[in-house]
Amino acid sequence: MCGIVGVIRSDGRPVIQDLGNGAHFLQHRGPAYAGLFVWDPARRSFSLEKGEGLADDIFKPLGEIDGDIGLAHTRYKTFGSGGILNAQPFFDAFGSIALAHNGHITNVPQIAAELEDRGQALAAKCDAEPLLRVLALWFEHFRSADPKGDEREMMFKAIAEVQVRVTGAYSVVVATPDALYAFRDPHGFRPMVLGVRENGAGSAVMVTSETLALEQNGYRVVEEVAPGRALHIGRNLEIDQRELVVRDPRPCAFELIYFADVESKMMGDS
């Protein structure tokens, strides 16, 4: 059980406050570690910060961080080891892809073996890393085949490969320099909700684990992201949703009775 937040703004203003506030309302999902990743297009750079403890204690001392696309994560370890090395988000520098997820991957040994056959080795003991490596591997595969191709289409193809090759539970947010992506496993084990904000605080889109994180940031809840669905959101905030795999919904009942905040709504209930 973890908490994820992905935010993209249309006005170029920083997303750090929304990320921090979103993570604050997901601390019950992951009190052990927290982290954030932010793209700053103006400087063509990024910020990646991780720490042990509650999100509030880690994010508040950071102050202002520029960047209009970002991810935040609160971790409750269900796989691998503790330590800041295994805190999320994870970043693939070659593909310029940052990723955070909530779930539990069940075929990590097989993924690790396939990566080793390709000359790659996992550095951390967190299942977010193999998830990222598979995504980055296939994204680069499609990019190499069509260097001038559209990033969105190549990423959707890479996500489809992940949904076929990675087994287990995963709700994922991904940040590239130009877009926010999100996707769920075909069974929808772990929650994911989509929200938009169109007011004086600045137009933005947020994808997160619970409706509480949306509502407390001034976002309107649009919908629960369907199992197996993938999303692309650009800086114009247009939302492109794709059904990449056959859905077989099997949501985890413990989300309602144990994991989720009492003020959050999911699975048509609250």
Catalytic residues: 2
Among residues 98, 70, 89, the alpha carbon closest in space to that of 6 is found at 70
Identify each DSSP E strand in the chain by its residue range: 2-9, 33-40, 45-52, 69-75, 90-92, 97-105, 168-176, 179-184, 193-197, 204-208, 220-224, 229-234, 239-243
Per the listing, tokens 């144990």 go with 258
Q: Do the beta carbons of residue 49 and residue 20 sit within 8 Å?
A: no
Q: Do the beta carbons of residue 99 and residue 183 sit within 8 Å?
A: no
CA distance 16 to 19: 5
CA distance 202 to 248: 36
